[in-house]
């Protein structure tokens, strides 16, 4: 499929999980892909695995650091041209009861999950507006659509991502750029594996019991797969999806409607 041939896609948190799956889906549709993130060694492993599918590069970047983002986007543009497609996937979740959520924890959740999206959108948008075409897809979470206990910082940040998505979508609606979000439920990723380990350590339940507890909120009684999220992301990036704008699409088996 060459529906995105000639387009340059940058995926943050592209070395594993949903980000890696998104990179693969975009390469399969003909895009050139830059994998961005802090763990350059992990990105290089992903690059090696993806290289048979098309042009893929690695860019070290800390989305919480504005200067790092600016330098990263400039370097990526030198390789593959301006970014046409931005997938804001980098994220971090740390559980804590609200009264044990200190200021440092709170600020870290906002810095990575919300400010990181802000920095990357600001870096990508000028070139998109200049060319008259662009796609921004923010990987939020069902935590951006509803509440969850013991992750107040993460939930607040993801709600912020949905608000930012809607506001920015309206600003660029008539300029050839779309801005959308996908909201996965519990997905087979490192974040969920960490959540399972935390449940096991806290409650003494087995890993299978902890996994079942997380899957119980999904009416399909299973965890979402990264490829399922990536397919939704890739669809929103297609030229034919130009009427999709300002949406927050839950990929969660019916957990949130």
Residues designated catalytic: 154
The answer to whether the CB of 63 falls within 8 A of the CB of 92 is no
């Amino acid at each position: 499929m060459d529906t995105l041939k000639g387009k340059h896609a940058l995926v943050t948190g592209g070395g594993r999980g949903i980000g890696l799956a998104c990179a693969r889906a975009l390469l399969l549709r003909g895009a050139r892909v830059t994998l961005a993130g802090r763990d350059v060694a992990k990105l290089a492993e992903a690059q090696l695995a993806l290289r048979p599918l098309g042009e893929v590069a690695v860019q070290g970047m800390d989305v919480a650091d504005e200067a790092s983002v600016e330098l990263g986007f400039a370097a990526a543009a030198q390789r593959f041209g301006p970014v046409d497609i931005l997938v804001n996937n980098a994220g971090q979740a740390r559980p804590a009861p609200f009264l044990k959520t200190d200021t440092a924890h709170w600020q870290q959740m906002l810095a990575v999950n919300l400010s990181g999206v802000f920095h990357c959108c600001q870096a990508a948008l000028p070139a998109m507006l200049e060319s008259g075409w662009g796609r921004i897809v923010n990987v939020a979470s069902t935590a951006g659509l509803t509440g969850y206990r013991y992750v107040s910082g993460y939930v607040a940040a993801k709600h912020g991502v949905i608000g930012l998505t809607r506001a920015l979508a309206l600003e660029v609606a008539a300029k050839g750029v779309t801005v959308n979000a996908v909201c996965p439920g519990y997905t087979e990723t490192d974040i969920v594996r960490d959540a399972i380990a935390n449940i096991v350590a806290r409650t003494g339940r087995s890993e299978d019991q902890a996994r079942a507890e997380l899957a119980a909120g999904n009416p399909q009684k299973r965890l979402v797969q990264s490829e399922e999220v990536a397919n939704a992301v890739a669809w929103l990036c297609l030229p034919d999806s130009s009427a999709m704008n300002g949406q927050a699409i839950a990929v969660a088996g019916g957990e949130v409607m």
